[in-house]
A and B are shown apart, each in its own frame.
Chain A
Amino acid sequence: MNRRTFLLGTASGALAIGCAFGRTGGRVWRHHQRTGELQPNAWIRILADGRVIFTLDRVEMGQGTMTSHAAMVCEELEVDPTTITILPAEASRAYDNPDRQIRVQITGGSTSTKASWQPLREAGAVAREMLRRAAAETWAVPLGECVAIAGTIQHAKTSRMLRYGELVKAAARQDTPRVRLKDPAQWTLIGKSLGRLDIRPKVDGSGIYGVDVQLPGLLTAVIVRPPVRGGTVAKLDASAARARRGVVDVVQIPEGVAVIAEGYWEARTGAELLQVTWDEGHGGTLDTDALFAAFEKLASARGQRTAHDAGDAYEALGKGTRVEATYRAPYLAHATMEPQNATCWIRRGRCEVWAPTQTPGIARFRVAEAIGFDLDDVAIHTTLIGGGFGRRGLVDYAVEAARLAQRVKRPIKVMWSREDDQEHDWYRPMAVSKFVGSVEFGTGNESRPLQPGPGRITGWLHRLVAQSIVTHEAGDFLGARVPNATPRALRRLVSAGPPRMTARGTLLDPTSIEGAADLPYAIPNLRVEYTPAETGIPVGFWRSVGHSFNAFFTECFFDELAHAAGKDPYELRRELLASHPRHRAVLELAATRAGWDTPLAAGVGRGIAVHASFHSFCAQVAEVSVTGNRVRVHRVVVAIDCGRVVNPGLVAAQVESAVIYGLSAALKQQITHRKGRVQETNFHTYRSLRMHETPVIETHLVTSTEDPTGVGEPGVPPIAPALCNAIFAATGKRIRTLPIEAALASPGAAS
Chain B
Amino acid sequence: MVKLIVNGKSVTVVAEAETPLLWVLRDKLGLTGTKFGCGIAQCGACTVHVDGEARRSCVMPVGELAGRAITTIEGLATPPEMERAGERWRAGTALHAVQEAWLAENVPQCGYCQAGQIMTTVALLAANPAPTDDDIDSALSANLCRCGTYPRIRRAVHRAAKAIRP
A63 touches B99 (CB 8 A): no
Min CB distance, A605 to chain B, in Å? 23
Whether B152 is near chain A, meaning CB under 8 Å from some CB there, is: yes
Partner of A682, one of B38, B114, B153: B38
B146 touches A387 (CB 8 A): yes
Interface CB pairs A-B, < 8 A, 19: A61-B110, A62-B109, A195-B106, A198-B108, A198-B111, A203-B108, A204-B33, A204-B73, A265-B20, A337-B45, A337-B110, A337-B113, A337-B146, A418-B37, A418-B39, A653-B106, A656-B151, A691-B150, A693-B141
Most buried by A among B40, B136, B137, B148: B148
Min CB distance, B133 to chain A, in Å? 9
Chain A residues numbered 645-698 whose CB sits less than 8 Å from any CB in chain B:
649, 653, 656-661, 682-684, 688-694, 697
Whether B74 is near chain A, meaning CB under 8 Å from some CB there, is: yes
User: Closest 5 interchain pairs by CB?
Assistant: A205-B33, A202-B111, A660-B148, A386-B112, A62-B109
Partner of A338, one of B26, B35, B73: B35
Whether B4 is near chain A, meaning CB under 8 Å from some CB there, is: no
B72 touches A205 (CB 8 A): yes
How many B residues touch A, CB cutoff 8 Å?
58
A386 touches B35 (CB 8 A): yes
Majority secondary structure, B binding face: loop
B143 touches A691 (CB 8 A): yes
Of A206-214, A398-406, A435-443, A589-597, the one with at least 4 CB within 8 A of chain B: A206-214
B144 touches A688 (CB 8 A): yes
A386 to B101: give the CA distance in the assembly, Å.
21
B42 touches A682 (CB 8 A): yes
Majority secondary structure, A binding face: loop
Question: Chain A 528-548, CB within 8 Å of chain B: the 1/0 string?
Answer: 000000000000000000000
Extra contacts, 6 of them, besides A204-B33, A657-B148 (Cβ < 8 A), are A61-B110, A211-B35, A683-B38, A683-B43, A689-B150, A697-B151
A690 touches B141 (CB 8 A): yes
A196 to B114: give the CA distance in the assembly, Å.
15
Whether B118 is near chain A, meaning CB under 8 Å from some CB there, is: yes
A199 touches B108 (CB 8 A): yes
Question: Chain A 351-372, CB within 8 Å of chain B: the 1/0 string?
Answer: 0000000000000000000000
Question: Chain B 3-46, CB within 8 Å of chain A: the 1/0 string?
Answer: 00000000000001001100100111011111111111011010
Given known contacts A335-B146, A339-B36, A199 and B107 CB-to-CB distance under 8 angstroms: yes
B-side residues, CB < 8 A to A, are 16, 19-20, 23, 26-28, 30-40, 42-43, 45, 72-74, 76, 94-95, 99, 102-103, 106-115, 118, 136-138, 140-141, 143-154
Given known contacts A386-B110, A417-B39, A653-B109, A206 and B152 CB-to-CB distance under 8 angstroms: no
Question: Chain A 185-198, CB within 8 Å of chain B: the 1/0 string?
Answer: 00000000001101
A478 to B45: give the CA distance in the assembly, Å.
37
Given known contacts A204-B33, A205-B74, A691-B137, A657 and B149 CB-to-CB distance under 8 angstroms: yes
Whether A263 is near chain B, meaning CB under 8 Å from some CB there, is: yes
Residues of B contacting A263 with CB < 8 Å?
Answer: 23, 27-28
Question: Chain A 234-268, CB within 8 Å of chain B: the 1/0 string?
Answer: 00000000000100000000000000001111000
